[in-house]
Structure 1
Amino acid sequence: MATKRPFVHPSRHGQVPDEPKRKRQKPENLSGRRSFKKAHPINDLKSQVRSLKRLLEHRDDLPADVRVEKERALQSAEYELSEALRAKKRSEMITRWHKVRFFDRQKATKRLKRATRELNECLEGGCEESKRMAMQQKVRDAEVAVNYAIYYPLERDYVPLFPSRRKRSGADGDEGGADEEVEREEQRKGDPEMLRKIEQCMGEGTLEALRNSKHLEINDEAVLRPQGALHSPAKIKKNLARDDKLPGDVHGNRRERRLAAAAAKAQAEEEESDGGFFE
Protein backbone atom coordinates (compact mmCIF):
# COMPACT_ATOMS: atom_id res chain seq x y z
CA MET A 1 0.00 0.00 0.00
CA ALA A 2 1.35 3.42 -0.94
CA THR A 3 2.30 5.83 1.83
CA LYS A 4 0.05 8.79 2.44
CA ARG A 5 1.44 12.17 1.46
CA PRO A 6 2.07 14.26 4.58
CA PHE A 7 0.04 17.41 5.08
CA VAL A 8 1.96 20.66 4.57
CA HIS A 9 0.61 23.95 5.83
CA PRO A 10 0.18 26.59 3.07
CA SER A 11 2.62 28.90 4.85
CA ARG A 12 5.44 26.29 4.52
CA HIS A 13 4.99 25.49 0.81
CA GLY A 14 8.06 27.50 -0.13
CA GLN A 15 10.26 25.62 2.36
CA VAL A 16 9.20 22.10 1.44
CA PRO A 17 10.57 20.88 -1.93
CA ASP A 18 8.12 19.55 -4.49
CA GLU A 19 7.90 15.84 -5.10
CA PRO A 20 9.51 14.61 -8.35
CA LYS A 21 7.05 14.17 -11.17
CA ARG A 22 6.54 10.63 -12.31
CA LYS A 23 6.10 9.84 -15.98
CA ARG A 24 2.64 8.54 -16.62
CA GLN A 25 2.62 5.34 -18.62
CA LYS A 26 0.14 4.97 -21.44
CA PRO A 27 -2.04 1.88 -21.40
CA GLU A 28 -0.85 -0.65 -23.96
CA ASN A 29 -4.23 -1.96 -25.04
CA LEU A 30 -6.61 0.94 -25.61
CA SER A 31 -8.65 -0.56 -28.45
CA GLY A 32 -8.97 -4.03 -26.97
CA ARG A 33 -6.89 -5.67 -29.70
CA ARG A 34 -4.56 -8.55 -29.07
CA SER A 35 -1.00 -7.65 -28.25
CA PHE A 36 0.59 -10.45 -30.29
CA LYS A 37 1.01 -10.39 -34.05
CA LYS A 38 -1.29 -12.45 -36.18
CA ALA A 39 0.30 -15.25 -38.19
CA HIS A 40 0.91 -14.45 -41.83
CA PRO A 41 -1.76 -16.05 -44.06
CA ILE A 42 0.91 -17.24 -46.49
CA ASN A 43 2.40 -19.52 -43.84
CA ASP A 44 -1.01 -21.03 -43.08
CA LEU A 45 -1.67 -21.63 -46.77
CA LYS A 46 1.74 -23.24 -47.24
CA SER A 47 1.08 -25.58 -44.32
CA GLN A 48 -2.32 -26.48 -45.72
CA VAL A 49 -0.90 -27.22 -49.19
CA ARG A 50 1.92 -29.30 -47.71
CA SER A 51 -0.47 -31.34 -45.56
CA LEU A 52 -2.83 -32.06 -48.45
CA LYS A 53 0.03 -33.10 -50.73
CA ARG A 54 1.39 -35.49 -48.13
CA LEU A 55 -2.04 -36.96 -47.58
CA LEU A 56 -2.59 -37.59 -51.30
CA GLU A 57 0.91 -38.97 -51.88
CA HIS A 58 1.12 -41.36 -48.92
CA ARG A 59 -2.47 -42.57 -48.65
CA ASP A 60 -3.24 -44.85 -51.59
CA ASP A 61 -6.24 -46.38 -49.84
CA LEU A 62 -8.36 -43.24 -49.77
CA PRO A 63 -11.93 -43.67 -51.05
CA ALA A 64 -12.61 -42.15 -54.44
CA ASP A 65 -14.96 -39.44 -53.17
CA VAL A 66 -12.54 -38.44 -50.39
CA ARG A 67 -9.61 -38.26 -52.84
CA VAL A 68 -11.57 -36.05 -55.24
CA GLU A 69 -12.57 -33.78 -52.37
CA LYS A 70 -8.97 -33.48 -51.14
CA GLU A 71 -7.67 -32.78 -54.66
CA ARG A 72 -10.19 -29.98 -55.06
CA ALA A 73 -9.18 -28.58 -51.67
CA LEU A 74 -5.52 -28.74 -52.76
CA GLN A 75 -6.26 -26.86 -55.98
CA SER A 76 -8.16 -24.19 -54.06
CA ALA A 77 -5.37 -23.82 -51.48
CA GLU A 78 -2.70 -23.58 -54.19
CA TYR A 79 -4.69 -20.90 -56.02
CA GLU A 80 -5.16 -18.89 -52.82
CA LEU A 81 -1.43 -19.23 -52.08
CA SER A 82 -0.48 -17.98 -55.54
CA GLU A 83 -2.82 -14.99 -55.16
CA ALA A 84 -1.39 -14.19 -51.72
CA LEU A 85 2.18 -14.37 -53.04
CA ARG A 86 1.21 -12.14 -55.95
CA ALA A 87 -0.36 -9.57 -53.62
CA LYS A 88 2.75 -9.62 -51.42
CA LYS A 89 5.04 -9.07 -54.40
CA ARG A 90 2.80 -6.26 -55.65
CA SER A 91 2.95 -4.52 -52.27
CA GLU A 92 6.74 -4.84 -52.14
CA MET A 93 7.11 -3.40 -55.64
CA ILE A 94 4.85 -0.45 -54.86
CA THR A 95 6.80 0.36 -51.71
CA ARG A 96 10.18 0.01 -53.41
CA TRP A 97 9.48 2.24 -56.43
CA HIS A 98 6.96 4.72 -55.00
CA LYS A 99 9.46 7.55 -54.52
CA VAL A 100 11.11 7.10 -57.94
CA ARG A 101 7.74 7.03 -59.72
CA PHE A 102 6.62 10.14 -57.85
CA PHE A 103 9.64 12.20 -58.95
CA ASP A 104 9.39 10.91 -62.52
CA ARG A 105 5.74 11.94 -62.64
CA GLN A 106 6.57 15.41 -61.32
CA LYS A 107 9.33 15.95 -63.90
CA ALA A 108 7.23 14.58 -66.76
CA THR A 109 4.29 16.80 -65.77
CA LYS A 110 6.50 19.90 -65.80
CA ARG A 111 7.81 19.01 -69.24
CA LEU A 112 4.28 18.46 -70.52
CA LYS A 113 3.17 21.89 -69.29
CA ARG A 114 6.22 23.55 -70.84
CA ALA A 115 5.74 21.76 -74.18
CA THR A 116 2.03 22.63 -74.24
CA ARG A 117 2.78 26.29 -73.54
CA GLU A 118 5.37 26.40 -76.33
CA LEU A 119 2.93 24.77 -78.75
CA ASN A 120 0.21 27.30 -77.93
CA GLU A 121 2.64 30.18 -78.44
CA CYS A 122 3.67 28.68 -81.76
CA LEU A 123 0.05 28.36 -82.91
CA GLU A 124 -0.75 31.92 -81.87
CA GLY A 125 2.34 33.32 -83.58
CA GLY A 126 1.80 31.42 -86.82
CA CYS A 127 4.97 29.31 -86.90
CA GLU A 128 6.09 27.05 -89.72
CA GLU A 129 4.48 23.68 -90.38
CA SER A 130 7.64 21.70 -89.60
CA LYS A 131 8.15 23.48 -86.30
CA ARG A 132 4.51 22.99 -85.35
CA MET A 133 4.68 19.26 -86.08
CA ALA A 134 7.88 18.96 -84.03
CA MET A 135 6.22 20.68 -81.08
CA GLN A 136 3.15 18.47 -81.36
CA GLN A 137 5.40 15.41 -81.26
CA LYS A 138 7.13 16.86 -78.20
CA VAL A 139 3.77 17.24 -76.46
CA ARG A 140 2.88 13.68 -77.43
CA ASP A 141 6.15 12.35 -75.99
CA ALA A 142 5.56 14.27 -72.77
CA GLU A 143 2.07 12.76 -72.43
CA VAL A 144 3.54 9.29 -72.92
CA ALA A 145 6.15 10.03 -70.24
CA VAL A 146 3.48 11.10 -67.74
CA ASN A 147 1.43 7.97 -68.39
CA TYR A 148 4.61 5.88 -68.18
CA ALA A 149 5.22 7.06 -64.61
CA ILE A 150 1.58 6.51 -63.62
CA TYR A 151 0.57 3.32 -65.44
CA TYR A 152 3.80 1.32 -65.47
CA PRO A 153 2.88 -2.23 -64.32
CA LEU A 154 2.97 -2.39 -60.54
CA GLU A 155 4.23 -5.98 -60.41
CA ARG A 156 7.37 -5.32 -62.46
CA ASP A 157 10.61 -3.57 -61.54
CA TYR A 158 10.24 0.06 -62.55
CA VAL A 159 12.77 1.46 -65.04
CA PRO A 160 13.24 5.17 -64.20
CA LEU A 161 12.56 7.76 -66.86
CA PHE A 162 15.00 10.30 -65.46
CA PRO A 163 17.67 8.41 -63.49
CA SER A 164 19.56 10.61 -61.08
CA ARG A 165 23.28 11.04 -61.74
CA ARG A 166 25.95 12.74 -59.72
CA LYS A 167 27.30 16.00 -61.09
CA ARG A 168 30.92 16.17 -62.17
CA SER A 169 33.09 18.05 -59.71
CA GLY A 170 34.96 21.19 -60.74
CA ALA A 171 36.93 20.17 -63.84
CA ASP A 172 34.86 22.09 -66.38
CA GLY A 173 33.74 24.88 -64.07
CA ASP A 174 30.27 25.80 -62.89
CA GLU A 175 28.97 26.89 -66.29
CA GLY A 176 30.04 23.71 -68.03
CA GLY A 177 28.48 21.64 -65.26
CA ALA A 178 25.19 23.54 -65.54
CA ASP A 179 25.07 23.10 -69.33
CA GLU A 180 25.81 19.42 -68.99
CA GLU A 181 23.06 19.03 -66.39
CA VAL A 182 20.50 20.72 -68.64
CA GLU A 183 21.55 18.54 -71.57
CA ARG A 184 21.19 15.39 -69.47
CA GLU A 185 17.81 16.54 -68.25
CA GLU A 186 16.45 16.69 -71.79
CA GLN A 187 17.38 13.06 -72.49
CA ARG A 188 14.53 10.73 -71.58
CA LYS A 189 15.38 7.22 -70.47
CA GLY A 190 13.09 4.39 -69.44
CA ASP A 191 12.13 1.09 -71.04
CA PRO A 192 11.66 1.63 -74.81
CA GLU A 193 9.40 -1.39 -75.16
CA MET A 194 7.18 -0.22 -72.31
CA LEU A 195 7.05 3.30 -73.77
CA ARG A 196 5.70 1.85 -77.02
CA LYS A 197 3.24 -0.24 -75.02
CA ILE A 198 2.07 2.83 -73.11
CA GLU A 199 1.50 4.73 -76.36
CA GLN A 200 -0.47 1.80 -77.77
CA CYS A 201 -2.62 1.53 -74.64
CA MET A 202 -3.30 5.27 -74.78
CA GLY A 203 -4.98 4.76 -78.14
CA GLU A 204 -6.85 1.65 -76.99
CA GLY A 205 -7.89 3.05 -73.60
CA THR A 206 -6.39 0.13 -71.64
CA LEU A 207 -3.92 1.95 -69.41
CA GLU A 208 -5.58 0.79 -66.18
CA ALA A 209 -5.38 -2.84 -67.29
CA LEU A 210 -1.70 -2.39 -68.10
CA ARG A 211 -1.06 -0.91 -64.65
CA ASN A 212 -2.60 -3.99 -63.03
CA SER A 213 -0.53 -6.34 -65.24
CA LYS A 214 -3.57 -7.63 -67.14
CA HIS A 215 -2.37 -6.45 -70.54
CA LEU A 216 1.16 -7.87 -70.66
CA GLU A 217 2.03 -10.04 -73.61
CA ILE A 218 5.36 -11.23 -72.21
CA ASN A 219 5.01 -13.90 -69.51
CA ASP A 220 1.35 -13.02 -69.09
CA GLU A 221 0.41 -16.60 -68.23
CA ALA A 222 3.26 -16.82 -65.74
CA VAL A 223 2.03 -13.66 -64.01
CA LEU A 224 -1.59 -14.69 -63.79
CA ARG A 225 -0.87 -18.35 -62.96
CA PRO A 226 2.55 -19.08 -61.40
CA GLN A 227 4.25 -22.32 -62.30
CA GLY A 228 3.04 -25.21 -60.19
CA ALA A 229 0.19 -23.22 -58.66
CA LEU A 230 -2.61 -25.27 -60.19
CA HIS A 231 -2.83 -28.74 -61.64
CA SER A 232 -3.19 -28.91 -65.40
CA PRO A 233 -6.53 -30.09 -66.84
CA ALA A 234 -4.83 -33.23 -68.21
CA LYS A 235 -3.58 -34.15 -64.74
CA ILE A 236 -7.00 -33.62 -63.18
CA LYS A 237 -8.60 -35.77 -65.89
CA LYS A 238 -6.01 -38.49 -65.29
CA ASN A 239 -6.71 -38.49 -61.55
CA LEU A 240 -10.45 -38.72 -62.12
CA ALA A 241 -9.95 -41.58 -64.58
CA ARG A 242 -7.83 -43.38 -62.02
CA ASP A 243 -10.56 -42.98 -59.42
CA ASP A 244 -13.11 -44.40 -61.85
CA LYS A 245 -11.02 -47.57 -62.23
CA LEU A 246 -11.19 -48.31 -58.53
CA PRO A 247 -13.43 -51.24 -57.53
CA GLY A 248 -17.01 -50.51 -56.71
CA ASP A 249 -16.80 -51.77 -53.15
CA VAL A 250 -14.43 -49.36 -51.42
CA HIS A 251 -15.64 -50.17 -47.91
CA GLY A 252 -14.16 -52.63 -45.46
CA ASN A 253 -10.79 -52.76 -43.77
CA ARG A 254 -7.46 -51.96 -45.35
CA ARG A 255 -6.62 -55.56 -46.22
CA GLU A 256 -9.90 -56.08 -48.10
CA ARG A 257 -9.44 -52.85 -50.03
CA ARG A 258 -5.90 -53.82 -51.04
CA LEU A 259 -7.07 -57.24 -52.25
CA ALA A 260 -9.87 -55.62 -54.25
CA ALA A 261 -7.44 -53.12 -55.82
CA ALA A 262 -5.01 -55.91 -56.74
CA ALA A 263 -7.83 -57.93 -58.32
CA ALA A 264 -8.96 -54.93 -60.34
CA LYS A 265 -5.39 -54.31 -61.53
CA ALA A 266 -4.96 -57.92 -62.60
CA GLN A 267 -8.28 -57.82 -64.46
CA ALA A 268 -7.22 -54.67 -66.30
CA GLU A 269 -3.95 -56.30 -67.35
CA GLU A 270 -5.80 -59.34 -68.67
CA GLU A 271 -8.14 -57.14 -70.71
CA GLU A 272 -5.17 -55.34 -72.26
CA SER A 273 -3.42 -58.62 -73.19
CA ASP A 274 -6.46 -60.33 -74.78
CA GLY A 275 -5.65 -59.04 -78.27
CA GLY A 276 -2.19 -60.59 -78.34
CA PHE A 277 0.77 -59.57 -80.48
CA PHE A 278 -0.68 -60.62 -83.87
CA GLU A 279 -4.06 -58.94 -83.50
Structure 2
Amino acid sequence: MDLDLRKVRYFVAVAELLHFGRAAERLHIAQPVLSRQIRALEKDLGADLFVRDSHGVSLTEAGRQLLDDGRQLLDSADGTRRRVLRAARGTGRLVVGFRAGVVVTHALRAFWATHPDVEGHARRIEWDDQERLILDGTVDVAYVRRPVQEDGLELRPLYGEPRVAMLPDGHRLAGKQELSLADLEAETWLRYSDPLPGDLPIRTIEEKFECVAAGTGITLVPRSVAEQYSRPDISYVPVTDAEPDQVLLAWAAGRHSPLIAAFAEVAALAGEAAGRD
Protein backbone atom coordinates (compact mmCIF):
# COMPACT_ATOMS: atom_id res chain seq x y z
CA MET A 1 0.00 0.00 0.00
CA ASP A 2 1.32 3.44 -0.93
CA LEU A 3 1.99 5.85 1.92
CA ASP A 4 -0.57 8.62 2.33
CA LEU A 5 1.47 11.83 2.54
CA ARG A 6 -1.29 13.58 4.47
CA LYS A 7 -1.13 10.90 7.16
CA VAL A 8 2.66 11.12 7.22
CA ARG A 9 2.41 14.89 7.69
CA TYR A 10 0.01 14.33 10.59
CA PHE A 11 2.36 11.76 12.09
CA VAL A 12 5.38 14.09 11.90
CA ALA A 13 3.48 16.82 13.74
CA VAL A 14 2.58 14.43 16.58
CA ALA A 15 6.07 12.93 16.65
CA GLU A 16 7.73 16.35 16.93
CA LEU A 17 5.39 17.63 19.65
CA LEU A 18 4.64 14.29 21.36
CA HIS A 19 1.20 15.65 22.12
CA PHE A 20 -1.94 14.96 20.11
CA GLY A 21 -3.73 18.10 21.26
CA ARG A 22 -0.94 20.51 20.32
CA ALA A 23 -0.35 18.67 17.05
CA ALA A 24 -4.04 19.00 16.18
CA GLU A 25 -3.83 22.75 16.84
CA ARG A 26 -0.78 23.04 14.59
CA LEU A 27 -2.56 21.12 11.83
CA HIS A 28 -5.86 22.97 12.32
CA ILE A 29 -7.88 19.77 12.66
CA ALA A 30 -9.88 18.20 15.48
CA GLN A 31 -7.95 15.95 17.85
CA PRO A 32 -10.27 12.92 17.33
CA VAL A 33 -9.73 13.19 13.58
CA LEU A 34 -5.97 13.29 14.09
CA SER A 35 -6.08 10.24 16.38
CA ARG A 36 -8.07 8.28 13.79
CA GLN A 37 -5.63 9.22 11.03
CA ILE A 38 -2.66 8.07 13.10
CA ARG A 39 -4.40 4.79 13.90
CA ALA A 40 -5.13 4.34 10.19
CA LEU A 41 -1.45 4.99 9.35
CA GLU A 42 -0.36 2.40 11.92
CA LYS A 43 -2.79 -0.07 10.34
CA ASP A 44 -1.45 0.75 6.85
CA LEU A 45 2.12 0.13 8.01
CA GLY A 46 1.38 -2.80 10.28
CA ALA A 47 3.36 -1.23 13.12
CA ASP A 48 2.70 0.77 16.28
CA LEU A 49 4.27 4.22 15.96
CA PHE A 50 3.54 5.59 19.45
CA VAL A 51 3.43 4.31 23.00
CA ARG A 52 0.37 5.84 24.66
CA ASP A 53 0.11 5.59 28.42
CA SER A 54 -0.67 7.65 31.51
CA HIS A 55 2.71 9.39 31.22
CA GLY A 56 1.96 10.74 27.75
CA VAL A 57 3.09 9.86 24.25
CA SER A 58 6.46 8.52 23.11
CA LEU A 59 7.81 7.08 19.88
CA THR A 60 8.38 3.40 19.29
CA GLU A 61 11.43 2.25 17.35
CA ALA A 62 9.23 2.10 14.24
CA GLY A 63 8.03 5.62 14.99
CA ARG A 64 11.57 6.96 15.25
CA GLN A 65 12.40 5.39 11.91
CA LEU A 66 9.32 6.88 10.26
CA LEU A 67 10.11 10.30 11.71
CA ASP A 68 13.53 10.24 10.03
CA ASP A 69 12.21 8.93 6.72
CA GLY A 70 8.96 10.90 6.85
CA ARG A 71 10.69 14.27 7.12
CA GLN A 72 12.76 13.48 4.02
CA LEU A 73 9.68 12.20 2.20
CA LEU A 74 7.71 15.37 2.95
CA ASP A 75 10.63 17.59 1.96
CA SER A 76 10.91 15.72 -1.33
CA ALA A 77 7.16 16.04 -1.96
CA ASP A 78 7.23 19.77 -1.19
CA GLY A 79 10.18 20.20 -3.53
CA THR A 80 8.37 18.36 -6.32
CA ARG A 81 5.34 20.59 -5.88
CA ARG A 82 7.43 23.76 -6.05
CA ARG A 83 9.33 22.61 -9.13
CA VAL A 84 6.16 21.61 -10.98
CA LEU A 85 4.57 24.99 -10.26
CA ARG A 86 7.73 26.75 -11.36
CA ALA A 87 7.76 24.79 -14.61
CA ALA A 88 4.06 25.53 -15.16
CA ARG A 89 4.71 29.26 -14.87
CA GLY A 90 7.39 28.94 -17.52
CA THR A 91 9.82 31.27 -15.75
CA GLY A 92 13.55 30.70 -15.51
CA ARG A 93 14.58 30.94 -11.88
CA LEU A 94 17.56 29.62 -9.96
CA VAL A 95 18.09 29.93 -6.21
CA VAL A 96 21.66 29.14 -5.11
CA GLY A 97 22.35 28.30 -1.48
CA PHE A 98 25.74 28.85 0.11
CA ARG A 99 27.44 28.28 3.45
CA ALA A 100 29.35 30.97 5.33
CA GLY A 101 32.68 31.79 3.71
CA VAL A 102 31.79 30.39 0.29
CA VAL A 103 31.97 33.04 -2.42
CA VAL A 104 29.38 32.43 -5.14
CA THR A 105 29.78 35.74 -6.98
CA HIS A 106 32.14 34.50 -9.70
CA ALA A 107 30.01 31.47 -10.56
CA LEU A 108 26.79 33.52 -10.58
CA ARG A 109 28.28 36.16 -12.86
CA ALA A 110 29.54 33.49 -15.26
CA PHE A 111 26.15 31.80 -15.23
CA TRP A 112 24.20 35.00 -15.86
CA ALA A 113 26.53 35.92 -18.71
CA THR A 114 25.05 33.02 -20.68
CA HIS A 115 21.57 33.05 -19.07
CA PRO A 116 20.66 36.75 -18.81
CA ASP A 117 16.92 36.05 -18.70
CA VAL A 118 17.09 33.77 -15.67
CA GLU A 119 15.93 35.23 -12.37
CA GLY A 120 18.54 34.30 -9.79
CA HIS A 121 19.01 34.60 -6.06
CA ALA A 122 21.67 33.61 -3.53
CA ARG A 123 20.58 32.43 -0.09
CA ARG A 124 22.68 31.74 2.99
CA ILE A 125 22.14 28.28 4.52
CA GLU A 126 23.35 26.66 7.73
CA TRP A 127 24.87 23.25 8.46
CA ASP A 128 21.64 21.87 9.94
CA ASP A 129 19.31 22.91 7.11
CA GLN A 130 21.50 22.57 4.01
CA GLU A 131 20.00 19.20 2.99
CA ARG A 132 16.40 20.09 3.83
CA LEU A 133 16.39 23.33 1.84
CA ILE A 134 17.60 21.47 -1.24
CA LEU A 135 15.16 18.58 -0.91
CA ASP A 136 12.12 20.78 -0.23
CA GLY A 137 12.90 23.04 -3.20
CA THR A 138 13.66 26.22 -1.26
CA VAL A 139 17.02 26.33 -3.06
CA ASP A 140 17.69 24.68 -6.40
CA VAL A 141 21.38 24.04 -5.90
CA ALA A 142 23.71 24.75 -3.00
CA TYR A 143 27.32 24.98 -1.96
CA VAL A 144 27.49 22.70 1.07
CA ARG A 145 30.22 21.66 3.45
CA ARG A 146 30.84 18.23 4.91
CA PRO A 147 29.44 16.50 6.84
CA VAL A 148 26.50 16.04 4.45
CA GLN A 149 23.58 13.63 4.68
CA GLU A 150 23.78 12.29 1.14
CA ASP A 151 20.37 10.57 0.89
CA GLY A 152 18.40 12.10 -1.97
CA LEU A 153 21.23 14.38 -3.09
CA GLU A 154 23.54 14.57 -6.07
CA LEU A 155 26.95 15.80 -4.96
CA ARG A 156 29.85 17.24 -6.94
CA PRO A 157 33.10 17.90 -5.03
CA LEU A 158 34.46 21.35 -5.86
CA TYR A 159 37.50 22.09 -3.72
CA GLY A 160 39.08 21.80 -0.30
CA GLU A 161 40.51 24.57 1.81
CA PRO A 162 42.76 24.70 4.88
CA ARG A 163 41.31 25.25 8.33
CA VAL A 164 42.44 27.79 10.89
CA ALA A 165 41.92 28.03 14.63
CA MET A 166 39.56 30.78 15.75
CA LEU A 167 40.89 32.09 19.07
CA PRO A 168 39.98 34.98 21.36
CA ASP A 169 42.35 37.90 21.18
CA GLY A 170 44.87 37.50 23.98
CA HIS A 171 44.72 33.68 23.95
CA ARG A 172 48.04 32.04 24.80
CA LEU A 173 48.31 30.71 21.21
CA ALA A 174 46.95 33.74 19.37
CA GLY A 175 50.38 35.07 18.36
CA LYS A 176 51.67 31.81 16.83
CA GLN A 177 52.47 31.55 13.13
CA GLU A 178 50.92 28.08 12.93
CA LEU A 179 49.56 25.35 15.20
CA SER A 180 48.95 21.61 15.24
CA LEU A 181 45.89 19.84 16.63
CA ALA A 182 48.02 18.64 19.54
CA ASP A 183 48.52 22.27 20.60
CA LEU A 184 44.72 22.58 21.03
CA GLU A 185 43.98 19.35 22.89
CA ALA A 186 43.34 21.00 26.26
CA GLU A 187 40.91 23.56 24.86
CA THR A 188 37.10 23.63 25.15
CA TRP A 189 35.72 23.17 21.66
CA LEU A 190 32.68 24.69 19.99
CA ARG A 191 31.10 22.29 17.50
CA TYR A 192 28.17 22.45 15.11
CA SER A 193 27.27 18.77 15.30
CA ASP A 194 28.14 15.64 17.30
CA PRO A 195 29.78 17.49 20.21
CA LEU A 196 31.98 15.40 22.45
CA PRO A 197 31.58 15.44 26.25
CA GLY A 198 32.71 18.87 27.42
CA ASP A 199 32.22 20.49 23.99
CA LEU A 200 29.71 23.27 23.43
CA PRO A 201 27.10 22.92 20.65
CA ILE A 202 26.42 25.93 18.43
CA ARG A 203 24.49 26.57 15.21
CA THR A 204 25.70 29.61 13.30
CA ILE A 205 28.99 31.32 12.48
CA GLU A 206 27.75 34.36 14.41
CA GLU A 207 27.39 32.21 17.52
CA LYS A 208 30.96 31.04 17.00
CA PHE A 209 32.21 34.63 16.98
CA GLU A 210 30.39 35.56 20.16
CA CYS A 211 31.42 32.43 22.06
CA VAL A 212 35.06 32.62 20.97
CA ALA A 213 35.34 36.36 21.68
CA ALA A 214 33.87 35.79 25.13
CA GLY A 215 36.47 33.10 25.85
CA THR A 216 33.87 30.32 26.08
CA GLY A 217 35.75 28.02 23.70
CA ILE A 218 37.70 27.74 20.46
CA THR A 219 36.95 26.20 17.08
CA LEU A 220 38.30 25.55 13.61
CA VAL A 221 36.90 27.36 10.58
CA PRO A 222 37.72 27.25 6.85
CA ARG A 223 40.30 29.78 5.72
CA SER A 224 37.67 31.58 3.65
CA VAL A 225 35.69 32.36 6.81
CA ALA A 226 38.78 33.91 8.38
CA GLU A 227 39.34 35.98 5.22
CA GLN A 228 35.78 37.27 5.10
CA TYR A 229 35.05 37.80 8.79
CA SER A 230 37.47 39.99 10.69
CA ARG A 231 37.03 41.17 14.28
CA PRO A 232 39.56 42.86 16.57
CA ASP A 233 38.66 40.52 19.43
CA ILE A 234 39.31 37.33 17.42
CA SER A 235 42.57 35.89 16.07
CA TYR A 236 43.07 33.22 13.40
CA VAL A 237 46.03 30.83 13.30
CA PRO A 238 46.59 28.14 10.61
CA VAL A 239 46.40 24.53 11.86
CA THR A 240 48.75 22.56 9.64
CA ASP A 241 47.45 19.02 10.30
CA ALA A 242 43.72 19.74 10.36
CA GLU A 243 41.60 17.90 7.79
CA PRO A 244 40.83 20.30 4.90
CA ASP A 245 37.28 21.60 4.72
CA GLN A 246 35.44 20.13 1.72
CA VAL A 247 33.05 22.26 -0.36
CA LEU A 248 30.61 20.45 -2.63
CA LEU A 249 27.80 21.44 -4.96
CA ALA A 250 24.53 19.65 -4.19
CA TRP A 251 21.11 19.34 -5.77
CA ALA A 252 18.18 16.94 -5.54
CA ALA A 253 19.01 13.55 -7.04
CA GLY A 254 17.01 12.70 -10.12
CA ARG A 255 16.19 16.30 -10.86
CA HIS A 256 16.92 17.00 -14.52
CA SER A 257 17.20 20.76 -14.87
CA PRO A 258 19.16 22.45 -17.67
CA LEU A 259 19.69 25.45 -15.38
CA ILE A 260 21.20 23.33 -12.61
CA ALA A 261 23.40 21.50 -15.14
CA ALA A 262 24.61 24.80 -16.57
CA PHE A 263 25.31 26.26 -13.16
CA ALA A 264 27.14 23.09 -12.07
CA GLU A 265 29.52 23.50 -15.00
CA VAL A 266 30.43 27.09 -14.18
CA ALA A 267 30.64 26.24 -10.46
CA ALA A 268 33.10 23.47 -11.25
CA LEU A 269 35.33 25.87 -13.18
CA ALA A 270 35.13 28.46 -10.42
CA GLY A 271 35.85 25.71 -7.89
CA GLU A 272 39.01 24.69 -9.73
CA ALA A 273 40.23 28.27 -9.52
CA ALA A 274 39.37 28.46 -5.81
CA GLY A 275 41.22 25.22 -5.15
CA ARG A 276 44.37 26.63 -6.74
CA ASP A 277 44.33 29.77 -4.59
Judging by fraction of residues, say which structure has more strand: 2
Higher helix share: 1
Q: Is TM (by shorter chain) over 0.5?
A: no
TM-score by length of structure 1 reads 0.22
Normalised by the length of structure 2, the TM-score is: 0.23
